[in-house]
Amino acid sequence: MKINVTLNGKKQEWDVTPNEYLAETLRKNGCFSVKISCNDGACGTCTVLLNGKPTVSCEVLTVRADGCEIMTVEGMGEEADKIADCLVRVGGEGCGYCAPGFVVLLYAMKREMKNPTYEKVREYLNGNLCRCTGYVPRIDAALEYMKET
């Protein structure tokens, strides 16, 4: 099936099968920031923005993305660098495997919530699992990023 998407601001046409998932398709199309980990929707590593909403791409059939705007870390430009700086400053980075999903989720949170409390930040980010950092520095990094203009 042929579908049309806007990936990181660029229009593309993809030829996909009905059983293909978005995470695989994105990697096939050069978005290697999208990592597949649990492949079950639980870990958040493959998070991308689908029409502006954070979504686990391993659980989205690619055909359903027809006509949608998709954003990955590759399309975030300076914002991704800002988040990376915050993570580095507070020691919120470990092996880095889950980082792209976390960066996308944090980017979405900043656009969705105004002045969230510590608890709200924790709640929002709990769909992104990390086995290195123990979460505390990640929340600190998120709060740092929320303060940035």
Partner 1 sequence: MIIQNYVKPANLEEAYALLVKSKGNRLLGGGTFLKRTHLRVANAIDLSDCGLDYLKKEKDGLHIGAYTSLRKLETSEEVLTQCGNVLKDPLSHLIGVQLRNQITIGGHVAPRFGFSDIIPALMILDAKLEFYHRGEISLISYMEEEKPEKDILTEIFIPEEGRKGKMQSMRISYNDYSVFGLGVSRCKNSWIIAAGNFPGRAKCASAVMKETEGRKVTKKDAGMLSGKIAESFVYGSNYRGSAEYRKELCRVFARRAIEELADEN
Piece in contact with partner 1 (CB under 8 A), picked from 24-32, 37-45, 76-84, 88-96: 37-45
Alpha carbon distance 94, 88 (integer Å): 10
Among 28-36, 49-57, 76-84, 89-97, the segment contacting partner 1 (CB under 8 A): 49-57
Tokens of 148: 């940035």
Residue from the set 4, 30, 32, 53 that interacts with partner 1 by CB under 8 A: 53
Nearer to partner 1, 10 or 18 (CB): 18
In the complex, minimum distance from the CB of residue 110 to partner 1, in angstroms, rounded to a whole number: 13
**Could you tell me how many helices (H) and strands (E) the chain has, helices first?**
5, 5
- DSSP H or E stretch at residue 27: helix 22-28
Write the DSSP symbol of residue 60.
S
Cβ neighbours for 105, distance < 8 A, ≥ 6 positions apart: 44, 47, 54, 124, 125, 127, 128
Considering the rule CB under 8 A, would residue 136 count as an interface residue with partner 1?
no
Angle formed by the axes of helices 118-125 and 136-147, to 10°?
Answer: 110
Least distance between partner 1 and beta carbon 21 (Å): 8
The CB-of-54 to partner 1 minimum distance in angstroms stands at 5
Q: Which of 25, 47, 72, 133 binds partner 1 (CB under 8 A)?
A: 47
Q: Which spans of this chain sit near partner 1 (rule: CB under 8 A)?
A: 1, 18-19, 39-42, 44, 47, 50, 53-56, 59-61, 63-64, 105, 108, 123-124, 126-128
